[in-house]
Amino acid sequence: MDRVYLINRVRNLVGDATQSIPAQADPLDNLDALVAGAVENGAVDDLGPAKQILEAELMALGTPTPSEANAKFWDEYQTSPKAATDWFFQLSRANNYIQTRAIAKNIGYTTPTEYGNLEITINLSKPEKDPKAIAAAAHAAKSGYPACQLCMENEGYAGRLDYPARANHRIIRFGLAGKTWGFQYSPYAYFNEHAIFLDAVHEPMHINAQTFTNLLDLTTMFPHYMVGSNADLPIVGGSMLAHEHYQGGRHDFAMAKASIQKAITIPGFDDVEAGIVHWPMSVIRLTSSDRTTLAQAAEHVRATWADYSDESVSVKAHAEDGTPHHTITPIARRVGDAYQLDLVLRDNQTSAQYPDGIFHPHQDVQHIKKENIGLIEVMGLAILPARLLTELAEVQKYLLDEPNHIADMHKPWADELKATQTWTADTAQAQLRQEVGKVFARVLEDAGVFKQNDEGLAAFDRFIAAL
């Protein structure tokens, strides 16, 4: 009974000359054909953002309304949490909200290190800006709506030349700590079932006692997902500090597999198993079957760290004006019936020697990674910029003594690689990828507040004593 209605809605969006568009076996190929037909008909401008707006509007015709999606999700949840997320994940892929074809362009591999197998991705999924679209967007009025890309108001938003289309976007509502929250997937997923949990209110991120309770509640609601939060301070925080949110999903990160290098005891929390994790960053792991006690232990660590200084290793809790330098990147997961929290100590100081951050990728590795080290990278998955695809190809040519256009910033590194290894056409790409992975391990070491050496481990022990 919906057939004629839907045909008319499609004709309205793409123009009347739709009879010439042949049907394809793949629904997304049909989508491409309809968009191409719309451009040919003059129904849409031949600009990337304009076509993405049309794509979302077309796919919205086949997407349940928010109320229908929520009803279906919670109906499936009665079977199991996994059944609910399986349904919602499949919907978000099928309706092209999760950009599966773009994500497939990413380059990914693992690198063995002393900390385990680190994961490397060169992120090619986000579409490059169309110069014509940039020019058009510059002349468009800025509405300020939605306030950011994590707001509830994105659900069903048509999009603009300077803002992503979200007509096919759906958010599952649920209660968390007496407030309304939303659950959605990331459109450009960095890992399997990359989920986002967002506060219905547009307010800044913050890490406090409630954070740990929230994360553990979410792993109770979705026991098959890990859930973590970016830190809440500039430099050590993520890219979206203006809206309170967490990230999660079904992925076994390298940090979760890392071993305990030293067991510790936190007085007053005898039923919480604790230890220092063998990891390039400074991580305390807490495990308990009692999530209330576990959250209290985590808050004790956070509060102690917030006021802790050890200037012998450049650790300083506050600036001269009292501005805080210390926070935590927390990650929660289930281990059998128990709960586990990894607490990553963060310090966002800068100095004359390290103007980008003392505990941030240092200048000699910024040719590979200069951006903030957020939650996902803390756990051992590098999200490297798209520029590296072409830049590393030129580095490889340089290493093979072929004509090249190597960037100056890569040359000192390439010269060191050239002097210490033999490079052949058969093995160069694999070798170079592993070397990029080693640089990422160094990036994480730079971000660690207590280094993995005698001085750093002794300083870590002094902090543990302060607990």
Provide the pLDDT for residue 138.
56
At 95, the amino acid letter reads N
C-alpha gyration radius of the chain: 24
Tokens 């340089």 belong to 398
* Mean per-residue pLDDT over the chain, rounded: 94
238 band by pLDDT with thresholds 50, 70 and 90? confident
Answer for the pair 351, 344: CB distance below 8 angstroms, yes or no.
no
Is 352 a residue whose pLDDT tops 60? yes
Residues sharing a CB contact under 8 Å with residue 4, sequence separation 6 or more, in sequence order: none
134 band by pLDDT with thresholds 50, 70 and 90? low
Length of the chain equals 467
Question: What is the distance between the alpha carbons of residues 11 and 18, in angstroms, rounded to a whole number?
Answer: 7
What burial class does residue 45 get, using C-beta atoms within 10 Å of its C-beta: 0-12 exposed, 13-18 middle, 19+ buried?
middle
Span 132-154, average pLDDT: 77
Is 139 a residue whose pLDDT tops 80? no
Question: What is the distance between the alpha carbons of residues 357 and 363, in angstroms, rounded to a whole number?
Answer: 10
Is 127 a residue whose pLDDT tops 80? no
**H-run or E-run covering 113:** strand 107-113
Question: What is the distance between the alpha carbons of residues 52 and 56, in angstroms, rounded to a whole number?
Answer: 6
Enter the pTM of the model. Answer: 0.94
CA 329 from chain center: how many Å?
13
Span 73-93, average pLDDT: 98
Question: What is the distance between the alpha carbons of residues 342 and 286, in angstroms, rounded to a whole number?
Answer: 6
% residues pLDDT > 90 (the chain) = 92
pLDDT in tens, 89-119: 999 999 999 999 999 999 999 999 999 999 9
Q: Is 319 helix (H, G, I), strand (E, B) or coil?
A: coil
Is 83 a residue whose pLDDT tops 80? yes
Span 425-446, average pLDDT: 97
Question: What is the distance between the alpha carbons of residues 129 and 428, in angstroms, rounded to a whole number?
Answer: 31
Phi, psi of 371 (to 5 degrees): -70, 165
446 band by pLDDT with thresholds 50, 70 and 90? very high
Provide the pLDDT for residue 19.
61
Question: What is the distance between the alpha carbons of residues 280 and 391, in angstroms, rounded to a whole number?
Answer: 26
Question: What is the distance between the alpha carbons of residues 220 and 81, in angstroms, rounded to a whole number?
Answer: 10
464 band by pLDDT with thresholds 50, 70 and 90? very high
- The H-assigned helical ranges of 186-282 are 209-221, 254-257
Provide the pLDDT for residue 133.
61
Is 230 a residue whose pLDDT tops 60? yes
20 band by pLDDT with thresholds 50, 70 and 90? low
Question: What is the distance between the alpha carbons of residues 280 and 282, in angstroms, rounded to a whole number?
Answer: 7
Phi, psi of 108 (to 5 degrees): -140, 145
From the list 204, 198, 143, the residue with the least C-alpha distance to 171 is: 198
Provide the pLDDT for residue 443.
97
From the list 430, 44, 218, 443, the residue with the least C-alpha distance to 31 is: 44
Is 398 a residue whose pLDDT tops 90? yes
In Å, how far are 207, 249, 428 from 232, measured between CA atoms? 6, 20, 40
Is 221 a residue whose pLDDT tops 80? yes
Question: What is the distance between the alpha carbons of residues 458 and 154, in angstroms, rounded to a whole number?
Answer: 48
In Å, how far are 21, 46, 161 from 42, measured between CA atoms? 15, 9, 17
Is 374 a residue whose pLDDT tops 70? yes
Is 23 a residue whose pLDDT tops 70? yes
Is 18 a residue whose pLDDT tops 60? no
From the list 299, 287, 149, the residue with the least C-alpha distance to 219 is: 287
Is 136 a residue whose pLDDT tops 80? no
Span 186-195, average pLDDT: 96
Provide the pLDDT for residue 130.
58
Q: What is the DSSP string of 399-449?
A: HTT------GGGHHHHHHHHHHS---TTTHHHHHHHHHHHHHHHHHHHH-S
Span 285-289, average pLDDT: 98
% residues pLDDT > 70 (the chain) = 96
Neighbouring C-beta atoms of residue 321, cutoff 10 Å: 5
Judged by average pLDDT, the poorest of 32-46, 81-95, 131-145, 185-199 is 131-145
